[in-house]
Amino acid sequence: MNHIALYRKYRPKTFEEVIGQDHITKTLQNQIMNDQVGHAYLFTGSRGTGKTSVAKIFAKAVNCLNPVRGSACGECENCKRLEQENDINIIEIDAASNNKVDDIRNIRDKVKFMPVGAKYKVYIIDEVHMLSDSAFNALLKTLEEPPSYVIFILATTEVHKLPQTILSRCVRFDFRLVSVDELSKHLAKVFDKENIKYDDESLKIIASAGEGSVRDTLSIADSIASYCQGVITKDKTLSVLGTTDHELIINFFDKIQEKDAGQVLSLIDQIEKAGKNLAVFSKDLSKHARNLLICKTCENANEILNLTDDIFAMYKEQSQKFEEKDLIRYMQVFSSAESELRYTLSVRLLLETTCLTAMLGFDVKKNWKLKKM
């Protein structure tokens, strides 16, 4: 049997299955219950946060013959027919490859036709920011006076590229990045259903790597599950991701705080010999500086970081060793190095230079202290 990717297998099919977007799903359900469905919606947010999934769920719900609290019943004739990917009443359009004015004019010609066996004809235009200026102008005319049986759902990751004339004619919903805690709980449910063993720390590492995207998190989890063959451990997870263990990062920052250049260079050597991706390590350093700054300045630090209690205690203790201005400088230096490390042929040399620059600040001659390795 062919393997189905986890992000496809566990794609939400109802409002209740969508995670991290309650502010949107509840509003859409209320609109359906109160018969206040709009004619044009704009879904904006980072990739993998559920924009297209919610659009499809909404398209089915508005056409359900017996909706239950604003959700599709899943049992009526319309629900069963709309489960088919090629239903003529739900039209998905990728604006990245259909971005010309003729493509939008084609839509304008087809909206004249009534839906077949359904209440609404729903057009889902993904990556709408990719439309040309002339295509936007053509779309605007349709949005201004749409037929009563047509609903447009525009989805984008770059809302700032949309003309104000389009924005003003849509009901806008901003999809949030999903928290590490919510992603961890979702991963646990998926792994339980797939009979995959795991530990809590591995869940948080995977969820953190997903950076708020449900799709990216499940894709990462899929790769790790294949590598681990049914038993996911912290060490194997770190190995697949190429990221660095908390203890090593904390030790590295201790040496930076002590201005121990020899140990900093020695640790970089160990990390490279262990097969770690040095560009990823630079990103880890930037993230760690940011985490320390949060620990130092925010009262609700662990609500933001969502670390295990023992790891958070280590972060909190280390954060007291640094001044805020130094942590901000580390974030700037390591973040700037991330893009450079992707293209340089001398990755290690650049990382070493970056770390020493962060450690010693800008007055290198005054602060330089080279200890024996």
Residues 315 and 351 both lie in one domain: yes
Distances (CA, A) of 196 to 87, 124, 199, 233: 35, 35, 10, 11
Residues 145 and 210 both lie in one domain: no
Quick one: pLDDT band at residue 1, thresholds 50, 70, 90?
Answer: low
The domain in which residue 317 lies consists of 246-367
Quick one: pLDDT band at residue 84, thresholds 50, 70, 90?
Answer: confident
**Which CATH number goes with the domain that contains 97?**
3.40.50.300
Residues 56 and 78 both lie in one domain: yes
Give the residue from 203, 225, 241 where a domain finishes. 241
CA distance 340 to 279: 9
| pLDDT in the model for residue 196 | 93
Give the residue from 204, 223, 241 where a domain finishes. 241
User: Is the residue at 1 inside a domain?
Assistant: no
Length of the chain: 373
CA distance 58 to 54: 6
User: Is the residue at 128 inside a domain?
Assistant: yes
Residue type, 203: L
Residues 59 and 167 both lie in one domain: yes
Residues 138 and 265 both lie in one domain: no
User: Is the residue at 195 inside a domain?
Assistant: yes
Quick one: pLDDT band at residue 102, thresholds 50, 70, 90?
Answer: confident
- Residue of higher predicted confidence among 301 and 341: 301
Residues 106 and 143 both lie in one domain: yes
| pLDDT in the model for residue 85 | 66
- Residue 369: is its pLDDT beyond 70? no
| pLDDT in the model for residue 29 | 96
**202-233 pLDDT, tens digit each:** 998 899 888 889 999 999 999 999 998 889 98
**257-294 pLDDT, tens digit each:** 999 999 999 999 988 887 778 888 888 899 999 999 99
- Residue 362: is its pLDDT beyond 70? no
User: Is the residue at 278 inside a domain?
Assistant: yes
- Residue 364: is its pLDDT beyond 50? no
**112-157 pLDDT, tens digit each:** 889 888 889 999 999 999 998 999 988 888 888 888 999 999 999 9
Residue 164 CB partners (closer than 8 Å, separation 6+) = none
User: Is the residue at 373 inside a domain?
Assistant: no
Residues 168 and 307 both lie in one domain: no
- Smallest Cα–Cα separation from 37: which of 176, 125, 139, 153? 153
**How much is the pTM?**
0.76
| pLDDT in the model for residue 335 | 87
- Residue 338: is its pLDDT beyond 50? yes
